[in-house]
Amino acid sequence: MCGIVAYVGDRKAFPILVNGLKRLEYRGYDSSGVALAQNGSIALYKKQGMVKAMEDHALLNDTSGTTGIAHTRWATHGQPSDENAHPHLSNSGNLVLVHNGIIENYQSLKDLLKSEGFVFHSETDTEVLVNFIQYVQDKEQCKLRKAVRLALTQVVGAYAICIYDKDKPEEIVVAKMGSPLVIGLGKDEKFIGSDATPFLEYTKEAIYLEDGEMASIIAGEELDIRLIKTDGTVAPVIHKLQMDLESIEKGGYDYFMMKEIYEQPRAIYDTFRGRLLPEQGMIKMSGMEEYADKFRNADRIIMTACGTSWHSALVAEYLFEEFARIPVEVEYGSEFRYRNPVIRKNDIVIAISQSGETADTLAAIKMAKSAGAMVFGICNVAGSSIARETHAGAYTHAGPEIGVASTKAFTSQVTILTMMALELGKIRGEFSTSEYRALLNELNNIPKKIEKVLEKKELIEQISALYKDATNFLYLGRGVNFPIALEGALKLKEISYIHAEGYPAAEMKHGPIALIDENMPVVVVAPNNGHYEKLVSNVQEVKAREGKVIAIVTEGDKELLDSSDHVIEIPETLEALTPLLTVIPLQLLSYYIAVMRGCDVDRPRNLAKSVTVE
């Protein structure tokens, strides 16, 4: 979490830094700050709250510097406050640093520094780091780059840092271990970001720093990239950025979340592109082709992910077992990494992550690799840590997802996983050609059918108005739609702060039914295939206890129309593909309820888009 931006060049740094921070607010938004090099000193502006608060405060002062570093924070050590906001100064007042990550041994470093007379003004691990670098520099009487390198060899934890010295502001030193850092290359200027969005309008050339690397960045000079451990030089690999500015702006919507919900038909087409070939009756996924033998002979698939991405893995569990008849286990990254799981050479691990930076998923991947498993990554962000750490993989190509609540990334992940399940079923000889083709054709129709679900917007808005003040919600589903019940509940709680739980419908009578009374809205995901009749009975059970039922049903449904309080229809589709449609009304329901409750939908409290801490 936390976002970093830095600039060195001829332009005024402040507007570039502030714009960049606003684009990175998805990484944290409890406080922010900038440090500008001007008139031989460091102008430091920091404020609790959104970037705008800091911007307004800074604009009352001088912001003319052409070198600067900036930060938007998601608190780890110390609560959100002006003091704990980054950048942090060293005791000498010469060094200034921004940091994304966690320094695990900060307490022992802090004790050492205190015994040497250092004082601290914040509760952060970052202030310890900047002072530790100063301590090493004073001791070794060396240049900043060397002091950073030597200090980092004694640091345990995760970091992406930018630091400069007020007496030599033309050079920014950066380093990376575990948290992302991208360097944008302009003609006589350079940009640094936690991702490339802060500098998209200035350059399309970028270098993604790898773990264990650091660089000295000077406006008009070649980059000097080194290994932190050995000081060995590293040849830079320049990437051409594909993203455009439009894709990271709101495009007339009130919130990114709504824009991203509406982008789903297009996002799914982009996920298909070049891969789903219904006329030729085939799926082409190069990442799978490369490891076709491994997939053919695998004994088991383990899927690992967190949050919404974990829900897409749960959907995939049904599909892989159904289509490819291969055992699947779904693991939270955080649990998997800290157990001693049995991983065999013939296992394939599929790691799923929108951001490609989730610390627990990344750690789970590293563990699976060291146990000898082949790891396949499904990520949305190109060049992300997970994309680089896995043996092979597939990008979802959903485009940047900026709203903290995941929507289009989820449906794109389910789309990729559906294609993989189909392909695996084919590779392993589990399908008849006609069955396979029917699924391919219907998958190809899904974006059009999502458009039809989006037309239900007004109805969903009206239903939302009726339930916006509820304090609890229950979501029920069965089979492949049980994970959709979980996802619906997660969406509602994260953006509207209403307590919500997802359950397999049959589990209701084992406990949750006690919660049902006339104040409890129950959302039932009940398309007409799968376990429809069972769900009809579950709805009766809820109604018998006066619960309010909002049912997601297939067009033309009569039974649930009569017994439910509200129905939202989705077009008919094959059972395996229903999650791609049933999730859409649940996204809209949580969106409208959150907006009606006055919540900041794109930036829900306490959350961040990219969870780079464990």
- The catalytic site residues sit at 2, 609
CA distance 614 to 606: 15
In the complex, minimum distance from the CB of residue 146 to ligand F6R, in angstroms, rounded to a whole number: 35
> Among 130, 23, 20, 17, which residue's Cα sits nearest to residue 63?
17
Q: Which residue is nearest to ligand F6R (CB)?
A: 307
In the complex, minimum distance from the CB of residue 609 to ligand F6R, in angstroms, rounded to a whole number: 7
Neighbours of 473 (CB within 10 A): 25
Rg (CA), the chain: 26
Which residues contact residue 205 at a Cβ distance below 8 angstroms, ignoring those fewer than 6 apart? 184, 185, 238, 239, 240, 241
Which of 6/405 has CB closer to ligand F6R?
405
In the complex, minimum distance from the CB of residue 407 to ligand F6R, in angstroms, rounded to a whole number: 8
Which of 3/425 has CB closer to ligand F6R?
3
In the complex, minimum distance from the CB of residue 614 to ligand F6R, in angstroms, rounded to a whole number: 12
Inter-residue contact 192 to 160 (CB < 8 Å): no
> Among 336, 395, 393, 415, which residue's Cα sits nearest to residue 368?
336
C-alpha distances (whole Å) from 480 to each of 1, 125, 317, 330, 352 are 32, 44, 9, 14, 18
CA distance 142 to 124: 26
In the complex, minimum distance from the CB of residue 205 to ligand F6R, in angstroms, rounded to a whole number: 25
Between helix 482-496 and helix 579-596 the angle, nearest 10°, is: 20
> Among 207, 194, 208, 201, which residue's Cα sits nearest to residue 249?
201
CA distance 177 to 477: 41
Which residues contact residue 388 at a Cβ distance below 8 angstroms, ignoring those fewer than 6 apart? 208, 210
First vs last C-alpha separation in the chain: 10
In the complex, minimum distance from the CB of residue 387 to ligand F6R, in angstroms, rounded to a whole number: 12
Which of 280/606 has CB closer to ligand F6R?
606
Which of 132/310 has CB closer to ligand F6R?
310
Which of 84/334 has CB closer to ligand F6R?
334
Q: Which residue ranges make up the site for ligand F6R (CB under 6 A)? A: 306-309, 353-355, 358, 361, 405-406, 490, 494, 611
Which of 283/351 has CB closer to ligand F6R?
351
Inter-residue contact 510 to 558 (CB < 8 Å): no
Q: What is the 3-state secondary structure (H, E, C) of 421-461?
A: HHHHHHHCCCCCHHHHHHHHHHHHHHHHHHHHHHCCHHHHH
Which of 36/258 has CB closer to ligand F6R?
258
In the complex, minimum distance from the CB of residue 342 to ligand F6R, in angstroms, rounded to a whole number: 24
CA distance 414 to 394: 12
In the complex, minimum distance from the CB of residue 430 to ligand F6R, in angstroms, rounded to a whole number: 29
Which of 88/408 has CB closer to ligand F6R?
408
Partner residues linked to 180 by β-bridges: none
CA distance 138 to 503: 59
